[in-house]
Amino acid sequence: MNIRISEESINSKVKTIYLYIIIIFSIPTIILLYKSIEWHPILDSPIFQYIAYKILNGVTPYKEIFDMNLPGTYWIHIITIKIFGLNSIGFRITDLIFLFIILLSGGLILKEYGSVAVFTFIAVFSGIHLAGGEANMGERDYFMTGFVGLSLYFIIQYIKKSKNINLFIAGIFIGYAGFIKPTSYILYFLIVLILLIKKNGNNKIIMDSILLTIGVCIFPGIFTYWLYKNGGINDFVNICVNYLPIYQNGSISSTFKLIYSIWKSPLDILIAGSLIILPIVYDNLFKQDKKRETTYLLLFVGVLFFLFNFVIKGQAENKYRLYPGYYFFAIYAGIIISTTLKEENLKTKLSGTIYLMISMSIICMYTILTIYKKNSEINYNSYITKEKETEKEIIKILRKDGIRKDEKIQIFDVVGGANILLKLGVNPATKYLQEVHFTEMQWKGNFPLYLQKQWDNFIFTLYSEKPEYIVMLKSSYFYREKVSNIGVEYEVRNLLNRFYHIINENNQFIIYKLK
């Protein structure tokens, strides 16, 4: 009896230590949460926000604006603009709502593992997300993770209670996630595989799979009808069939770069720590624990979904691609830390304490760097600071020059141009918001036929419309003279030399005005 009391006393003290570690190392995250209210959309987000704004003003998506992103992303921005208006604070609120959704789904999943697991997950994931700064705010992989997390919770509820409604709801969330990022449908196939493994009878497997599929198809059906009604369905299908494969092939990174990008992020300590401590807590986690079915499911789904999702996307440069990994490994960290409490061996509890302290201290370091606007592997702060200053300067110059709202402007950039369009309230001269469609894949020689047709449309419109202003940002391949296709480079230079003159130039941008 005294031994049991002693063990309970030790566990209680260790639990208190864990919670204190989490609270203390989360202080920078809380500070950063407060400071993040002033953030505004940057990188990819302004593009989606601009397209959503134009859709609300009657523009047909895909037909009148060429873009390879899916309607699920636009809808989030459309709803944000309708509720909060077209402003930075509204989008910041949407980002925080999704953070709440992600933390809620993870917290509900980990509820049965105890408060230490829940608070570890909350501290780890929220710390990583906020440490990503403005660059990670409202990214598609982040939004996708919110829907994946909710679907995962309902899958677990179905496994536990065998209530088909949970499977149906899980399917609905997967369906929406798939129209943000199509790789989300990997989760659908993993669930079907789980249904087959459970072997509850052939008829039940078939019925459950059909129910899941119906749920998955609901939002794709809604989006398809929406595009059909707006007249954009043919162009959407065209882009999906003809352009997406080109874009995907042109953006794939090497295996080494993919692995390296993981180890140059907060995932490195989460993965390494999990692999080190997992053998120590294995028996308690997988053999004795009543929650082992949930643990197996989380491990099976999480690892496979993250790996397939990351490899299929194949892009190592952008750390926001790692969001599913952040989510699942934050969950694993919570499970492993909480399991060390049950171990009688004090060395195991010490290992858990060290793992928690190292993980939280590294995440804390990332958050502190972002608080002080210093550059890190995940926040791109040096780039963002320059981009924000550049946007303000360009807007100031164009307003001083007397740009009118009925005038058109074409911005050559990889990112950032949409923010300028939004703040000036002007339209692009072509239906192409970004030059990345033609330059980011660094084509050597001729374009594929479909891409050549798009380029012909783009350059013909520029020559015929001749927008009053053309802005070339430093991010542009044309600005840096890194365009691989010589013909494309010549056509743009010829346009600028014949019809435009420079009204402002520095080491961040060039502004051309029609002669």
Tens digits of per-residue pLDDT, 83-105? 999 888 999 999 999 999 999 99
Contacts of 130 (CB under 8 A, 6+ apart): 29, 32, 33, 36, 367, 370
CA angle 421, 386, 33 (to 5 degrees): 90
Rounded CA separation 286/9 (Å): 25
Q: Which of 196, 221, 224, 222 is nearest to 208 (CA)?
A: 196
Assign residue 86 a region: left if phi > 0, alpha if psi is -120 to 50, beta otherwise? beta
Do 173 and 150 touch, CB atoms closer than 8 A? yes
Tell me: pLDDT of 456 over 90: yes
What pLDDT does residue 135 have? 84
Residue 2 has pLDDT above 60, yes or no: no
Name residue 473's beta-bridge partners: 509
- The CA distances from residue 180 to 147, 158, 274, 318, 390, in Å, are 10, 24, 30, 17, 30
CB 320 within 8 A of CB 142: yes
Whether residue 316 is predicted with pLDDT greater than 60 in this model: the reply is no
CB 132 within 8 Å of CB 36? no
Higher pLDDT pick, 275 / 500: 500
| Alpha-carbon 130 to chain mean position | 13
Lowest-confidence range among 46-60, 68-82, 238-252, 353-367?
238-252
Q: Residue 329: what pLDDT? A: 92
Is pLDDT of 484 > 80?
Answer: no
DSSP conformation letters of 52-88: HHHHHTTPPBTTTBB--S-HHHHHHHHHHHHHH-SSH
pLDDT tens digits, 39-82: 888 878 889 999 999 999 999 999 999 998 999 999 999 999 99
pLDDT above 90: residue 164: no
- 438: confidence class by pLDDT, cuts 50, 70, 90: confident
Q: Is 512 helix (H, G, I), strand (E, B) or coil?
A: strand
245 versus 444: the higher-pLDDT residue is 245
* Range 369-398 average pLDDT: 83
Distance CA(302)–CA(243), nearest Å, equals 30
**Confidence band for 280, pLDDT divided at 50, 70 and 90:** confident
pLDDT for 264 beyond 90? no
Please tell me the predicted confidence (pLDDT) of residue 407: 87
Q: Are 281 and 336 in contact, with CB atoms under 8 Å apart?
A: yes
**What is the residue-averaged pLDDT of the chain?**
87
Per-residue pLDDT band for 106 (boundaries 50, 70, 90) equals very high
pTM of the model: 0.92
Helix (H, G, I), strand (E, B) or coil at 345: coil
458, pLDDT greater than 50 = yes
Identify the residue whose tokens are 């595009």. 227
pLDDT tens across 465-483, in order? 899 999 998 888 888 877 7
- Candidates 474, 481, 463; CA nearest to 417 is 474
Cα-based angle 32, 36, 40 (whole degrees, multiple of 5): 155
Q: Looking at residue 286, what DSSP letter applies? A: I
Q: Which residue has the higher pLDDT, 273 or 440?
A: 273
Nearest to 327 by CA among 361, 356, 303, 295: 303
Terminal Cα-to-Cα distance of the chain (whole angstroms): 92
Q: What share of the chain is helix, strand, coil (3-state, %, to 5)?
A: 75, 5, 20
Residue 1's pLDDT band, with cuts at 50, 70 and 90, is: very low
- 379 closest CA partner among 43, 34, 28, 45: 43
The residue with tokens 């499911």 is 297
The pairing of beta strand 509-514 with beta strand 427-428:
unpaired
Distance of CA 99 to the CA centre of its chain: 12
For residue 446, pLDDT beyond 90: no
Half-sphere exposure of 475 (CA within 13 A, CB side): 18
- Confidence at residue 294, expressed as pLDDT on a 0 to 100 scale: 80
The pLDDT confidence band at residue 214, using thresholds 50, 70 and 90, is very high
| pLDDT above 80 (res 248) | no
Q: What pLDDT shows up at residue 142?
A: 95
- Name the pLDDT band for 382 (thresholds 50, 70, 90): low
User: Would you mind telling me the total number of residues written for the chain in this entry?
Assistant: 515
pLDDT at 215: 96
Q: What is the model's pLDDT at position 199?
A: 64
CA distance 49 to 153: 29
Q: How many CB atoms lie within 10 A of CB 444?
A: 8
**One-letter amino acid of 184:** S
